Homo-oligomer: A and B are copies of this chain.
């Protein structure tokens, strides 16, 4: 979806899941590790590049949540909004890497502060759109948006009936 002739401002990777569980806070001697989880739905891994601004977010969210990537029992495809399914958003800066020899370089990735700001707004917009869709269908039981903690190690357990991995640049 990135406009032709310009480098992407954001990269997303999508996987379908039956269940996914993500650590949002590491455990230590005082506190147990904390996790979020979703059942049937879509995992969105997201990375922003230098130059990305909030302007791109509404189109990103609308595109990702409306893409027909989810399989119905009939074999027909539908979107996560229409399913409706849940969404797990995982910040994934490594997606912006480029191989140089044996090492990965991340020169094009956005700075941490700007990245966190974009990530937070991206999560909010996804929540807003999914909640609006649930309102329309009236099927709200356990459909939810969960998300990882920006900058953390993303300890993930994914269970899928076919990840159907898709790459979408913006």
A interface with B by C-beta (< 8 Å): 1, 11, 13, 45, 63, 66-69, 77, 79, 90, 92, 94-95, 97, 99, 102-104, 153-168
Contact = CB atoms under 8 A, between A and B. Distances in A.
A97 B166 contact: yes
A67 B153 contact: no
A150 to B, nearest CB: 14
A94 B155 contact: no
Contact of A157 (B95, B103, B158, B167): B158
Nearest to A94: B164
A166 B11 CA distance: 11
A104 B69 contact: yes
18 contacts: A13-B167, A67-B99, A67-B102, A68-B103, A92-B164, A95-B165, A95-B166, A95-B167, A97-B166, A99-B168, A104-B166, A154-B163, A156-B159, A156-B162, A156-B163, A157-B158, A158-B158, A158-B159
Contacts of A11: 167
Given A13-B13, A103-B68, A94 B165 contact: yes
A148 B107 CA distance: 34
